Amino acid sequence: MVFELFGYPGIKITAILIETVNIGLLIGLLYLYTKSYRQIKIGFTVGLILFAIMLLIKSISTIVFLMVDSDLLIGRPVYIGGIIEFMALAILLKITWDY
């Protein structure tokens, strides 16, 4: 039995949820980076802001692609990539928050 919600298979729903959490982490990183840039205007923080924006674009486009392309089951590559990105972003957010 395949889990479906709003006509999407469970694997797509899970991938969309993971990307949504990634967007939340990226928004947190962007907040911290822009706050840091306002205090000390150095190129490193501009690079971090651009890095976070690019990952944000990736996550948003992944969600759009998963929702629009209903015929193609993306499945595990997106699912696993999203989990790995989630873990990396969570670590990066923690380190950035502490320092």
| 41 falls within a domain | yes
Total domain count for the chain? 1
pLDDT digits (tens, 9 = 90+) for 56-71: 888 888 888 777 765 5
In a domain, 25, yes or no: yes
9 forms beta bridges with 4
Q: Which residue has the higher pLDDT, 41 or 10?
A: 41
Give a yes or no: residue 59 inside a domain: yes
Q: What is the 3-state secondary structure (H, E, C) of the chain?
A: CCCEECCEEHHHHHHHHHHHHHHHHHHHHHHHHHHHHHHCCCHHHHHHHHHHHHHHHHHHHHHHHHHHCCCCCCCHHHHHHHHHHHHHHHHHHHHHHHC
In a domain, residue 1? The reply is no
Which pLDDT tens digit goes with each residue over 13-55? 888 889 999 999 999 999 999 999 999 988 778 888 888 888 8
* Range(s) of the domain holding residue 59: 9-98
2 occurs within a structural domain: no
Residue 68 in any domain: the answer is yes
